[in-house]
Amino acid sequence: MTNTAHTPDLSNLWMPFTANRQFKEHPRLLAKAKGMYYTTVEGEQVLDGTAGLWCVNAGHGRSEIIEAISRQTAEMDYAPSFQLGHQDSFRAASAVAKMMPAGMDRIFFTNSGSESVDTSLKIALAYHRARGEGQRTRLIGRERGYHGVGFGGISVGGISPNRKTFSGALLPNIDHLPHTHDLSKNAHSRGQPAWGEHFADELERIIALHDASTIAAVIVEPLAGSTGVLVPPKGYLEKLRAITEKHGILLIFDEVITAFGRLGANTASEYFGVTPDLITLAKGISNASVPAGAVAVKRQIHDTILEAAANGIEFFHGYTYSAHPLATAAILATLEIYERDQLFQRAHGLAAKFEDAAHSLESARHVIDVRNLGLVAGIELAPRPDAPGARAAEVFKKCFDQGVMVRYTGDIIAISPPLIIEESEIQKIFGTLEEVLKTVE
């Protein structure tokens, strides 16, 4: 219980993706963060089992990032990015490009994953128009996909609560692939499920329905995170790549969660050996110390758009805070930490132990599925018949009270810790989950 002596007036803030009334009755307030731990306003330590919101990959309070941001604030707090630039914006773009698959070395900076997604969709449309196929305006997403909260991202996204309130204003010319999750076939898979490659064949059906000449791009998360850790079946992403290439359709990987070490590699594209045409980035790009995002684009797409334009602005898109000086300072410092400390290799080395710890919950109370890849795990619980999502919400609250922070979506508990996690902390996360599940009805 939060001590009211530490509690400010909670009435003015409308909290995002939060049950506001319930939270404000029993607030959970964080005061500090360092390494693997948050500290509450009461002084209690909470092990961060979710890297904040999938984003603090290098751990909290990294002095190098703090110093880089502080230096930049004193030197130049802001620089416009329209018709002007600053040196670190170009340095940061080069640093990001070096971590992307070969040929994906044109970087457009944004401020969030939502902005990265909408930017990638605009780039796809602009590319086809530039090459004389402006009729390619249809976008294909996937059921249970999450692509942020812009109208473009909601439109191609496939989580119904995110869509229903705004259904009358979503983009036209959208279709969706089926999701790949099938508990009857893939429950308790370790890593990629062996069954489900055929779900990619649905793209051929959608193409036959609409005609390939109308379709601009397909966007998917290589591994779906926010919808409950849905791991792609073996061969699925490879087949999507082959189908899109055959029909001249761009493939966008939404890697806001999976890039920067989450799977033990620079990107999920690298991990799976499947290279898309565009990659959306955010979260771990700056270790969440400053809001930042980007889109990595194949050079040929970038060049086609520029070469087709008349003199002047080639792409009418951007943000006031694109390549903000504080963000680029944070990006440069973050990427240096990743390389110096070999955090992606470290995550790769921990993946097997993380997998074993996650699957130790297979027989735990209420658990109907455990799935994992890299340093990501999803623990799916049987829902209460009269209250879907309530069981996982109770687990989240009780884990927090026991000093471990997890996330939940519906009745799925998600674990995605900072890459600096120790083996003992992995055991603490899953051990606490097991004990809490024994107490939940």
The rounded distance, in Å, linking the Cα atoms of 146 and 153 is 8
> 160's torsion region: left (phi>0), alpha (psi -120 to 50) or beta?
alpha
**Nearest partner of 116 among 150, 158, 159, judged by Cα:** 150
**Residue 7: pLDDT band with limits 50, 70, 90:** confident
Whether the model pTM is above 0.95: yes
Question: Cβ–Cβ contacts within 10 Å for residue 293, how many?
Answer: 26
Task: Give φ, ψ of 298 to 5 degrees.
Answer: -60, 140
Residue 62: what residue type? R
- 310: burial class by Cβ within 10 Å (0-12, 13-18, 19+)? exposed
- Inform me whether the pLDDT recorded for 2 exceeds 80: no
**Residue 156: pLDDT band with limits 50, 70, 90:** very high
Give me the pLDDT at residue 94, please. Answer: 98
β-sheet with 45-48: strand ranges across: 30-34, 37-40, 45-48, 404-405
**Residue 222: pLDDT band with limits 50, 70, 90:** very high
SS (H, E, C) the chain: CCCHHHCCCCCCCCCCCCCHHHHHHCCCCEEEEEECEEEECCCCEEEECCHHHHCCCCCECCHHHHHHHHHHHHHCCCCCCCCCCCHHHHHHHHHHHHHCCCCCCEEEEECCHHHHHHHHHHHHHHHHHHCCCCCCCEEEEECCCCCCCCHHHHHHCCCHHHHHCCHHHCCCCEEEECCCCCHHHHCCCCCCCCCCHHHHHHHHHHHHHHCHHHEEEEEECCCECCCCCECCCCCHHHHHHHHHHHCCCEEEEECCCCCCCCCCCCCHHHHHCCCCCEEEECHHHCCCCCCCEEEEECHHHHHHHHHHCCCCCCCCCCCCCCCCHHHHHHHHHHHHHHHHCCHHHHHHHHHHHHHHHHHCCCCCCCEEEEEEECCEEEEEECCECCECCHHHHHHHHHHHHCCEECEEECCEEEECCCCCCCHHHHHHHHHHHHHHHHHCC
Give me the pLDDT at residue 420, please. Answer: 98
Cα separations in angstroms, 298 against 138, 145, 244: 20, 23, 15
**Residue 1: pLDDT band with limits 50, 70, 90:** very low
The rounded distance, in Å, linking the Cα atoms of 437 and 441 is 8
The rounded distance, in Å, linking the Cα atoms of 119 and 106 is 13
Mean pLDDT over each residue of the chain, to the nearest integer: 97
Structure tokens at 197: 């490659």
Structure tokens at 65: 């990032």
Give me the pLDDT at residue 288, please. Answer: 98
Cα R_g (the chain), whole angstroms: 22
Give the torsion through C-alpha atoms of 297, 415, 283, 157, to 10 deg.
60
pLDDT per position as a tens digit, 186-211: 999 999 999 999 999 999 999 999 99
Give me the pLDDT at residue 5, please. Answer: 59
**Nearest partner of 232 among 269, 280, 184, judged by Cα:** 269
CATH superfamily for domain 4-58+342-439? Aspartate Aminotransferase, domain 1 (3.90.1150.10)
Query: What's the average model confidence in pLDDT over 74-95?
Result: 97
pLDDT per position as a tens digit, 380-396: 999 999 999 999 999 99
Residues of the chain with CATH 3.90.1150.10: 4-58+342-439
Q: Are strands 376-381 and 412-415 parallel, antiparallel or unpaired?
A: antiparallel
Structure tokens at 87: 């040196």
The rounded distance, in Å, linking the Cα atoms of 418 and 54 is 8
Cα separations in angstroms, 80 against 50, 72, 103: 34, 15, 28
Residues of the chain with CATH 3.40.640.10: 66-340
pLDDT per position as a tens digit, 399-427: 999 999 999 999 999 999 999 999 999 99
40 forms beta bridges with 30
- Inform me whether the pLDDT recorded for 435 exceeds 90: yes
**Nearest partner of 2 among 35, 46, 37, judged by Cα:** 46
The answer to whether residues 38 and 44 touch, using CB atoms and an 8 Å cutoff, is no
The answer to whether residues 109 and 93 touch, using CB atoms and an 8 Å cutoff, is yes
412 forms beta bridges with 380, 409
pLDDT per position as a tens digit, 322-350: 999 999 999 999 999 999 999 999 999 99
> Any idea how long the chain is?
441
The rounded distance, in Å, linking the Cα atoms of 27 and 4 is 10
Give the domain 66-340 fold: Aspartate Aminotransferase; domain 2 (3.40.640)
Give me the pLDDT at residue 380, please. Answer: 98
